Amino acid sequence: MNSFLYTSILFLSTLTFAQTKVDISLDTNRALVGDVIQMDINVNSNVQVIWPDIEVLIAPIEVQSFSEIDSVLKSNLNRYHQNLSIQLFDTGDFVLPQLPFVSSEGDTFYTDSLNISFVPVLLDTTNVVFDIKGPEDVPFNFSEAKPIVYGSFIILVLILLIYYLIQKIKIKKGVIEEEIAPSIPCEIEALEALKNLESQGLCEMGEIKNHYVQLTEILRCYFDRQFELETIESTTDEIVERLRTKKIEISLLTDITRLLEEADLVKFAKSNPDNFTNKRFMESSYRIVECCHNMNEEVLDV
C-alpha cells in the first residue's frame, strides 16, 4: 500500500512540475574537412524556453546556415525544432559542447555533448599528377552577341551615311563655287556687261528705267565680287557706307553715290533723265569699274 502511495506521489509530481526535454542529433559524426553536417535540435516543453546562441557556443565549428525555430503547440506541450548546417575547415576530433536551454521558470536543461571527427581528404598518390585545368571555353551564343552585331551594323550605316552626305555637300559646294567663281575676272565681266548694255540702246528706246536697273545691277555685282560686299541685299546708303570702309577716293565715292542715287530716282521716282545725263552716267560707270579695279590692284601690290 505504501509503495503504491509513493509511486502515485512520484507519478503526480511528474505531472505537476515542468516537463522539458532537449535533444540534439547529427546526421553523422565523421565527415571530411569542409563537409556539411546536419544538426537537429528538438525541445519539448510545457513552458517557454530561451534558445542559446549556438554559433558562439559551438565555435570553432562554423554554422553555414540555420532554419527558423519551428514551434508547435500540441496538448499543452511546446515542441521546438531547429536545423543547422555546420562545417569545419580543419581536421581533428572536436567536441560539440552541451547546449544550455533555459526555461521561463529559470531551470536550465542541457543537450548531450557529441564528438565529431573531421578527417582530411586522402590523396591518391598512385595516379599520375596532372596539370591544373584551365577555364573551359564558353560556347558561342548569338543572343549574347546580338547587341554587338546590331551596334556595329548601325555604326557602319551611320559612317556610310555621313560619308554620302559629305560627298553630296562637296559636290553641291563645287557647283556653287563654279557658279560663284566664274573664270572671267570681275572687272572684265563688268566692262563687258556695260558694253552689252550700251549696245542695247535701251535709253534710245525709251526704256530708261530698265537701263538703270541693269546698270545698277552690273555695278552692284561688280562691287560684290571686287570688294566682297553683300551689295545685292543692300540699299544705296548701305552700299556707299560699305564702300567707304574700303578707303575709296572721295571723288570716286561721290561719283558712285551720285550714280546710285540718280538710278534710285529713275527706279523708284519715275525720274526721266535726258540723253546727255544717261551718257554721262554710262561713261561714269566705265570709269568707276576701271578706277576701282586699279585701286584694288595697287592695294594688292602694296
Partner 1 sequence: MDSLEIKEINEKIKQESAFVDLLSLEMNKVIIGQKYMIERLLIALLGNGHILLEGVPGLAKTLAINTLSKAISGKFSRIQFTPDLLPSDVIGTTVYNMPKNEFSIKKGPIFGNFILADEINRAPAKVQSALLEAMQERQVTIGDETFAMDEPFLVLATQNPVEQEGTYPLPEAQVDRFMLKTVIDYPKQEDERIIMRNSLTDSHQAVNAVVSLEEIMNARSVIKTVYMDEKIENYILDIIFATRYPERFGLDHLSALISFGSSPRGSINLATAAKVYAFIKRRGYVVPEDVRAVCHDVLRHRIGITYEAEAEDVSSEDIINQILNKVEVP
Instruction: Give Dmax over CA atoms of the chain in angstroms.
Output: 168
**Binding flag, residue 277, partner 1 (CB under 8 A):** no
The residues, any chain, with a CB within 8 Å of residue 23's CB and separated by 6 or more, are 41, 42, 43, 44, 111
**Binding flag, residue 20, partner 1 (CB under 8 A):** no
**Binding flag, residue 108, partner 1 (CB under 8 A):** no
Q: Which amino acid is at 165?
A: L
Site string for partner 1, 209-228 (x = CB under 8 A): ----x---------------
Spatial contact of 262 and 271, defined as CB atoms under 8 Å apart:
yes
Q: Which of 81, 246, 267, 280 binds partner 1 (CB under 8 A)?
A: 267
Q: How near is the Cβ of 218 to partner 1 at its closest, in Å?
A: 15
Residue number with CB closer to partner 1 (133 or 270): 270
Q: How near is the Cβ of 220 to partner 1 at its closest, in Å?
A: 9
**Binding flag, residue 234, partner 1 (CB under 8 A):** yes
**Of the ranges 88-96, 109-117, 232-240, 249-257, which one interacts with partner 1 (CB under 8 A)?**
232-240
Rounded to 10 deg, the angle between the 250-269 and 208-227 helix axes is: 140
Concatenated DSSP letters for 255-296? HHHHHHHHHHHHHHH-----HHHHHHHHHHHHHHHHHHHHHH
DSSP 115: E
Residue number with CB closer to partner 1 (101 or 212): 212
**Binding flag, residue 257, partner 1 (CB under 8 A):** no
Map the footprint of partner 1 across residues 176-215, applying CB under 8 A. Answer: 213
Dihedral of the alpha carbons of 27, 28, 29, 35, in degrees to the nearest 10: -110
List contacts with partner 1 (CB under 8 A).
213, 230, 232-237, 264-265, 267-272
